[in-house]
């Protein structure tokens, strides 16, 4: 069977969203779950070495001890896409593990948070005195972020464990979640229970003729179609108006990786949706800057050379497709993107040393630092002023 082939479950119409993984895909999945991932501690805290298979087993066992029913565990996001198609060009950073569980209220969420933090004690190196380490201490040392959402349609929480190389272990506990994907190429979830049970029960190693049946699902709706989009680098989605503001940043990331919408008309429509929602969810320039800086920091670890191309792409999409902003607000976000691009070039020592460099906007204040004294920054009026005759000119930097 071809490396990225699969056996679609098409015996019933309702199973169109599912597929059975091939042997090659099962091998990739098993390799990801068996890989040792370091969870780096802040300050003097030691690094924790954990395999995804181990953390799933420990967390699930503790949840069941607390009488929280875990229906199933899934691999989600870019890691699941990588399992299904290794050469997509996306790679994977975070390891997203979904615990589908019965979480009906604040009490259950608090129990889950505490037991996850308590589980980290099991992964501390030998010789570490664990008696005086509290849950709060573990949270400060090893957790990058915690999120909890509980409303009429969504009830879930997220605990992200820190990795300095961007491969965070993200534990997501989901009772209900209305929208679980942005685009078809990131809509895959792989059910892990049969593989985990196999390793617990089987005395023989897996082989092409002896391995568990593992089911993948596309929450986009059509497994075969979504996998075809992944193979051919096509950007497609359903109900784009439901995608949160961060969808714009993911969309531009796909563009930089060589993905394209199926048609020009579809691309323009999708970009307008993405831009409008971004500015609804991040309505002022401070929020926009924090979101952009966070995205650059979290999604380009080891890929710093791609940051500039990403910002150029984002600038083009915002410039072309933003229809919901007043003139000065539009200039603010375009100026922000340009300033971040200048910063990226400076970090990479890529500011060209030529006589004629066109500055479209005033660079960020930090480029006046002594480290950047090898080139000249023209003094122009700030682009944030909105009264007449203060728009910046195109000036030459020597």
Tens of pLDDT, residues 322-370:
888 888 889 999 999 999 999 999 888 766 544 444 555 545 554 445 4
Predicted TM-score of the model (pTM): 0.82
Please state, in angstroms and rounded to a whole number, the distance separating the CA atoms of residues 311 and 48: 34
pLDDT tens digit string along 104-126?
888 999 999 999 999 999 999 98
Quick one: 54 exposed, middle or buried, by C-beta within 10 A (0-12, 13-18, 19+)? Answer: middle
Question: What is the rounded average pLDDT for all residues in the chain?
Answer: 85
- pLDDT reading at 14 higher than 80: no
Region 43-63: what's the mean pLDDT?
A: 95
Question: Please, are residues 349 and 358 in contact by the beta-carbon 8 Å criterion?
Answer: no
The β-bridge partners of 101 are 70
**pLDDT grade for 54, boundaries at 50, 70 and 90:** very high
- pLDDT reading at 11 higher than 50: no
**pLDDT grade for 296, boundaries at 50, 70 and 90:** very high
β-pairing, 143-150 vs 155-161, is: antiparallel
Phi, psi of 90 (to 5 degrees): -85, -35
pLDDT tens digit string along 166-191?
889 999 999 999 899 999 999 999 99
Question: Please, are residues 40 and 20 in contact by the beta-carbon 8 Å criterion?
Answer: no
Question: Please, are residues 214 and 186 in contact by the beta-carbon 8 Å criterion?
Answer: no
- pLDDT reading at 371 higher than 60: no
Question: Please, are residues 79 and 112 in contact by the beta-carbon 8 Å criterion?
Answer: no
- pLDDT reading at 264 higher than 90: no
Question: Please, are residues 334 and 315 in contact by the beta-carbon 8 Å criterion?
Answer: yes
Residue of higher predicted confidence among 391 and 248: 248
Where in the chain are the domains? 16-126+134-242, 244-351
Residue of higher predicted confidence among 381 and 189: 189
How many residues appear in the chain?
A: 398
Question: Please, are residues 161 and 142 in contact by the beta-carbon 8 Å criterion?
Answer: yes
Task: Report pLDDT for 262.
Answer: 85
Question: Please, are residues 336 and 286 in contact by the beta-carbon 8 Å criterion?
Answer: no
Phi, psi of 275 (to 5 degrees): -65, -45
Task: Report pLDDT for 117.
Answer: 96
> 3-state SS of the chain?
CCCCCEEECCCCHHHCCEEEECHHHHHHHHHHHHCCEEECCCCCCCCEEECHHHHHHHHHHHHHHCCCCEEEEEEEHHHHHHHHCCCCCCCCCCEEEEEEECCCCHHHHHHHHHHHHHHHHHHCCCCCCCCCCCHHHHHHHHEEEEEEEECCCCEEEEEEECCCCCCCEEEEEEEECCCCCCCHHHCEEEECHHHHHHHHHCCCCCECCECCCCEEEECCCCHHHHHHHHHHCEECCCCHHHCCCCHHHHHHHHHHCCCEECCHHHHHHHHHHHHHHHHHHCCCHHHHHHHHHHHHHHHCCCCHHHHHHHHHHHHHHHHHHCCCCCHHHHHHHHHHHHHHHHHHHHHCCCCCCCCCEEECCCCCHHHHCHHHCCCCCCCCCCCCCCCCCCCCCCEEEC
Share of the chain above pLDDT 90, in %: 66
């Amino acid at each position: 069977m071809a490396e990225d082939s699969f056996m679609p479950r098409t015996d019933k119409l309702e199973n169109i969203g599912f597929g059975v993984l091939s042997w090659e895909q099962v091998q990739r999945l098993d390799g990801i779950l068996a890989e040792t991932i370091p969870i780096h501690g802040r300050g003097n805290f030691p690094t924790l070495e954990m395999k995804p298979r181990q953390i799933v087993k420990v967390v699930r066992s503790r949840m069941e001890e607390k009488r929280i029913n875990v229906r199933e565990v899934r691999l989600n996001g870019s890691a699941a896409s990588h399992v299904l198609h290794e050469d997509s060009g996306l790679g994977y950073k975070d390891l997203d593990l979904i615990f589908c569980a019965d979480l009906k209220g604040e009490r259950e969420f608090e129990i889950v948070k505490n037991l996850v933090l308590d589980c980290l004690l099991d992964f501390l190196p030998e010789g570490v005195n664990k008696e005086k380490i509290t849950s709060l201490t573990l949270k400060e040392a090893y957790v990058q972020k915690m999120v909890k959402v509980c409303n009429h349609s969504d009830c879930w929480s997220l605990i992200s464990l820190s990795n300095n190389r961007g491969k965070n272990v993200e534990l997501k506990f989901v009772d209900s979640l209305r929208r679980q994907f942005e685009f078809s190429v990131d809509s895959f979830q792989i059910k892990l229970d049969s593989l985990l049970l196999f390793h617990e029960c089987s005395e023989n190693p897996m082989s092409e003729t002896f391995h568990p049946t593992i089911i993948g699902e596309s929450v986009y709706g059509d497994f075969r179609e979504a996998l075809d989009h992944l193979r051919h680098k096509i950007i497609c989605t359903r109900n784009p108006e439901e995608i949160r503001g961060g969808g714009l940043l993911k969309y531009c990331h796909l563009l930089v990786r060589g993905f394209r919408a199926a048609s020009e008309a579809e691309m323009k429509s999708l970009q307008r949706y993405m831009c409008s929602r971004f500015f609804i969810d991040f309505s002022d320039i401070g929020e926009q800057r924090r979101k952009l800086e966070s995205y650059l920091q979290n999604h380009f670890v080891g890929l710093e050379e791609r940051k500039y191309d990403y910002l150029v792409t984002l600038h083009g999409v915002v410039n072309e497709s933003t229809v919901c902003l007043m003139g000065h607000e539009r200039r603010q976000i375009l100026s922000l993107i340009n300033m971040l691009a200048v910063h990226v070039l400076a970090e990479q020592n890529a500011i060209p040393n030529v006589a004629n460099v066109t500055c479209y906007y005033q660079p960020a204040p930090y480029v006046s630092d002594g480290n950047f004294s090898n080139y000249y920054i023209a003094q122009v009026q700030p682009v944030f002023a909105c009264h007449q005759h203060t728009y910046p000119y195109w000036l030459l930097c020597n």
